[in-house]
Amino acid sequence: MKSICVFCASSNAVDKVYHQVATDLGQRIGLLGLDLIFGGGGIGLMGDVARGVHDKGGRVVGVIPEFFLNNEQPIEYAKADELIVTKDMRSRKAIMDERSDAFIVLPGGIGTLEEATEIISMKQLGLTEKPIVFINTNKFYDAFILNLNRMVELKFAKQSTLDLINVLPDPLSALEFMTAYQPQKTNSKWL
């Protein structure tokens, strides 16, 4: 594994514990010598992860759609080692997927959830074997996992869908999982 994509919040308004975990994750990625692939923002948890990677000498690759650069107030992480500007959000996600060997999901909003569920869907369809881990800071993803279980219970998804993701409590356990990850064969998604 050479690079990890991190999906996370762009909000600065969240509780400081989320910022601390994001910084910790970034520092651990930097210490492991892995490249960070992320949404290119210097704000919120995105900025915390990127700065954490740089704090420990790691490499940061931001992928940002051009319309984010047209804001009156710059939001991009200007210190990125590489900043890739895309036409739109779909191009952004494609490049993030292409450049990454694994995915970590920190707490975030709709955009974070959309990015993560696209990767889960790709895994379910057998289009990728890359691992995805949710870091469940303050039990942030408990309701999401409960909803996935409900989908299985009501037969909208197979039980094996739950095996496509891992939910872990902190950056250390997430990165330990990533470094030991072995892809598993995905069964047909169809019920």
d(CA 40, CA 35): 13
Which residue has 């959309």 as its token pair?
114
Nearest by Cα to 10 from 34, 33, 42? 42
Per-residue pLDDT tens digits for 14-72: 999 999 999 999 999 999 999 999 999 999 999 999 999 999 999 999 999 998 887 77
pTM of the model: 0.94
CATH class of 3-178: alpha beta
Say whether pLDDT at 182 is over 60. yes
Nearest by Cα to 130 from 35, 26, 1? 1
Per-residue pLDDT tens digits for 160-170: 989 999 999 99
